[in-house]
Copies of this chain bind each other. A is one copy, B any other.
Amino acid sequence: MPTIVVDVMPKAELLDPAGKAVAGALHRLGDTAFSGVRIGKRFELTVDGEVTDAVLARARELASEMLSNSVIEDVIAVSVDE
């Protein structure tokens, strides 16, 4: 069944404490190649049937209204994964 993938990340201007903690752990482990870590969410919506334009439009609407908190998060991608 086709899947619509919605990627949500914390806004760039906000602190991401969990990401900062992971970045700190990487530095303590000696991993200097990575300068920062941010942690967001990935939603997989299974679509019953075909992904029509209407379904994709509704998914975009849900992504910004229900799956993300626009005060602290950005929807960075809504894509179809067959």
A: residues with CB less than 8 A from B are: 1, 4, 7-9, 19, 22, 25-26, 31-49, 55, 58-59, 62, 66-67
User: Is the beta-carbon distance between A32 and B9 smaller than 8 angstroms?
Assistant: no
State the number of copies, please.
2
Asked whether, in the complex, the Cβ of B66 is within 8 Å of the Cβ of A25, the reply is: yes
Expressed in whole angstroms, the minimum distance between the Cβ of A32 and any Cβ of chain B is 7
- Whether the Cβ atoms of A47 and B33 lie closer than 8 Å is yes
Given that A26-B62, A33-B55, A66-B22 are contacting pairs, would A42 and B45 also be in contact in the complex, using a CB cutoff of 8 Å?
no
B40:A44 contact, CB within 8 angstroms:
yes
Q: Give the complex CA separation of A34 and B59 in angstroms.
A: 9
Query: How many Å from the CB of A75 to the closest CB on chain B?
Result: 12
